[in-house]
Structure 1
């Protein structure tokens, strides 16, 4: 059974098409848990209408978090299934998305054991609001291609990302897109809800890298719909128009949030980090502590640590910007 966690807010425009893409999946043993964050449009009514159609295949609850990540945390708090898939309201799933995601995570469970916390994510295709291809993939805009260079190839499209080689980069740049994620019960069992975090997918990635395995499917299993409400989500940060619109204060706030996220992780998982003897946890603990300790250092010392621990972003330009702003 795969439990699909669907977080919604004012999504009436695209939500029906997303739900239809779920009901058209080749893998049918799924259950949708949908949480609507006090929408002011007809989103909640749309969800309730699907309850009458899908019956026990969907359950709808209401939330009042005023935050997409907190809405997903609410869903994770309620989740209880062997496998958990995250779902955004305005995307479109390829018909074999669940089937391929499940086969990938089960392949890693067979190799590393079902007791191993595992997260698998995939690439996605960027489309316009009418689902027309923009001839772009999300992997072209993130650092995932760098991570693949050091990854273990499990099959034609599936990779296990190396904690030792890739975790330091992950602390400063998230390359896990939450709307493609599937996790197993072992990861859900050690998930702890943070008081402070950047985003829910980044947080789940920290858990998986530290205590388990992160798998990547180098296939586009989701169509990421780019529209006025999420347009920045799939833009190239190196394009001139995006460089010009950057807010320096917001950039500094983002780095402050990265530090706070790591400090929260170290606080919540202090006991687990101390008890674990796995090599991945050893490397993760090393990088987590080094990153957290940077916060109080001066600019020169921060730059030294960035170089020493390879806290690099996906391009040299972005890394230079990191050195100037962190």
Structure 2
């Protein structure tokens, strides 16, 4: 029988934690254990956890966290867990009753190594804000190296098989050597968080399924460790237009870092990420070559480069195939002509 561990990191979560713990107890498929790492809370969180542990309908273990940040706190709980399947859990959300059952069924039915699902974004009082995050529009399954390599499934919406982390060259799972050498994230430019590390490994070596079903309430209260996107619609498009060569160079460096780390861990796929890095380096070079140039030069250099990259290197193929997509081609052409990026 498959065993299931819920891995929860807490820090000053007393205001929200009771709702999340209650939603764990209300699961139609309850976890076999809840492993909590608390990072030194002094707001009543330890007392809430102790009370829940006494009455929970499953085993609860509460650990003293390392007090070195969110990612280390989650990893600390993960290494103490025993389940065949792991569900990341944040302290301030609410899981809908069918979450664990649906995710386990999906893993079993599809043979996937990781599944993530849609979630309804709500305010501090759990009132809907009218959109989902994550928001997969349809249920799909992806093989290794398929899909958008920059997509990082939110941890609270992710359930994965422990075996996904087995066989890393450094040792079993996220041992200290693998953890301390993990690359910087393209999102934060800092060392990857726990959920990003697992999703990168899953992208490179595992089968992933995206569920369009809403299975959690993602609470936004102004003090989230990570929040849902707040810039939407026209503002998001304008923000995308303002991104230029420096940001593309950062993306290239991130891709190369991912490939190097995966190779060092014995997973492979370094060649894939090197191609990805070169694709973004070419994009950065085009912007630098045309920056500040007169219109005839921009058109000659810029549009010529875009044509070569679109046809010779297939840089603008679908994002699901590791390309930059048609929207990127439109942005680059516009920036080349008007000289604004």
**TM-score class normalised by the smaller sequence:** 0.7 to 0.9
1:30 equivalent in alignment to 2:32: yes
Aligned counterpart in structure 2 of residue 183 of structure 1, from 160, 176, 187: 160
1:101 equivalent in alignment to 2:103: yes
**Alignment CA distance shift 1:118-1:9 (3 Å):** same
Which aligned pairs between 1:99-178 and structure 2 lie closer than 5 A? 99-109=101-111, 118-140=113-135, 144-145=136-137, 158-166=139-147, 169-171=148-150, 173-174=151-152, 176-178=153-155
Encode CA deviations 1:16-35: one digit per residue, 9 max, x unaligned: 11000000111134210001
Q: Mark the runs of 5 or more structure 2 residues left unpaired by the alignment.
A: 168-172, 186-192, 288-305, 336-340
Structure 1: how far apart are the matches of 2:67 and 2:182?
A: 13
Larger Rg: 2
The Cα shift of 1:214 comes to 0.6
8 Å CA contact retained: 2:63, 2:77: no
1:59 equivalent in alignment to 2:36: no
TM value normalised by structure 1: 0.73
Structure 2: how far apart are the matches of 1:224 and 1:163?
A: 28
8 Å CA contact retained: 2:252, 2:279: no
Q: Mark the runs of 5 or more structure 1 residues left unpaired by the alignment.
A: 110-116, 149-157, 275-283
Aligned counterpart in structure 1 of residue 208 of structure 2, from 194, 206, 214: 214
Aligned counterpart in structure 2 of residue 84 of structure 1, from 86, 89, 95: 86
Structure 2: how far apart are the matches of 1:258 and 1:33?
A: 37
Structure 1: how far apart are the matches of 2:211 and 2:85?
A: 17
The match for 1:152 is none
8 Å CA contact retained: 2:95, 2:216: yes
The match for 1:280 is none
The Cα shift of 1:308 comes to 6.5
Kindly indicate whether structure 1 or structure 2 has the higher relative contact order, using CA contacts under 8 Å at least 6 residues apart.
1
SS of the aligned residue for 2:316 comes to: helix
The Cα shift of 1:196 comes to 3.4
**Structure number having the greater helix percentage:** 1
Paired residue total: 289
Aligned counterpart in structure 1 of residue 284 of structure 2, from 288, 292, 299: 299
The match for 1:114 is none
SS of the aligned residue for 2:104 comes to: helix
8 Å CA contact retained: 1:138, 1:234: yes
Encode CA deviations 1:46-91: one digit per residue, 9 max, x unaligned: 2122222238610001113442222222222223211111111000
1:316 equivalent in alignment to 2:327: yes
Aligned counterpart in structure 2 of residue 19 of structure 1, from 18, 21, 35: 21
Aligned counterpart in structure 1 of residue 8 of structure 2, from 6, 9, 12: 6
1:49 equivalent in alignment to 2:38: no
8 Å CA contact retained: 1:5, 1:84: yes
The match for 2:300 is none
8 Å CA contact retained: 1:287, 1:309: no
